[in-house]
Amino acid sequence: MTYAPGIYFANELGTLSRWEVVNFLYSVQGSVCLICNHYLRRAEATIDHVVPRAQGGAHHILNWALAHSHCNRWKGHRMPTFEEFKRHRQLVKRIRNQLFKIKVSHFVSRVRRVLRCRP
């Protein structure tokens, strides 16, 4: 499933464009397709719902992974295999660590700004 660059996702990171989401997932997931486990270029990456929305999956960053467009179409609305689930669990751990670092860094920068403004 591909999205136009003007489509925005709202999640716990705020409102992000599709490319910002792809870049974030690419930095965490690396250059590997979740479905076929082969090399994935950033330009051909699509956002895949690991647990499909048709099967009750959430439209949430922890349920997203990057995949080739043809792999994503092939997977369709079927549930992931055991190997895909294992790879996704590792990816979720890395995403949560990155989100924690982002939240901590925003907190730290906010505190630093407040401390600089004090007389």
**Can you state the percent helix, strand and coil of the chain, rounding each to 5?**
55, 15, 30
CATH code of residue 92:
1.10.30
How many angstroms separate the CA atoms of 49 and 80, rounded?
Answer: 10
Q: Does residue 2 form part of some domain? A: no
pLDDT at 68: 93
Angle between helices 18-29 and 82-117 (to 10 degrees): 110
Q: In whole angstroms, how far apart are CA 114 and each of 52, 101, 110?
A: 43, 20, 6
pLDDT at 2: 41
With a cut of 50, which residues of the chain have pLDDT below it? 1-13, 118-119
Q: What is the DSSP letter of 68?
A: E
Non-local (6+) Cβ contacts of 65 within 8 A are 25, 29, 34, 47, 48, 50, 88, 91
Q: Does residue 70 form part of some domain? A: yes
User: pTM for the full model?
Assistant: 0.69
How many independent structural domains does the chain possess? 1
Q: Does residue 83 form part of some domain? A: yes
Non-local (6+) Cβ contacts of 103 within 8 A are none
Residue 95 belongs to what domain range?
8-117
Q: Cβ(41)–Cβ(22) under 8 Å? A: no
pLDDT at 74: 92
Q: Does residue 96 form part of some domain? A: yes
Q: Does residue 27 form part of some domain? A: yes
Q: What is the DSSP letter of 32?
A: B
Q: Does residue 1 form part of some domain? A: no
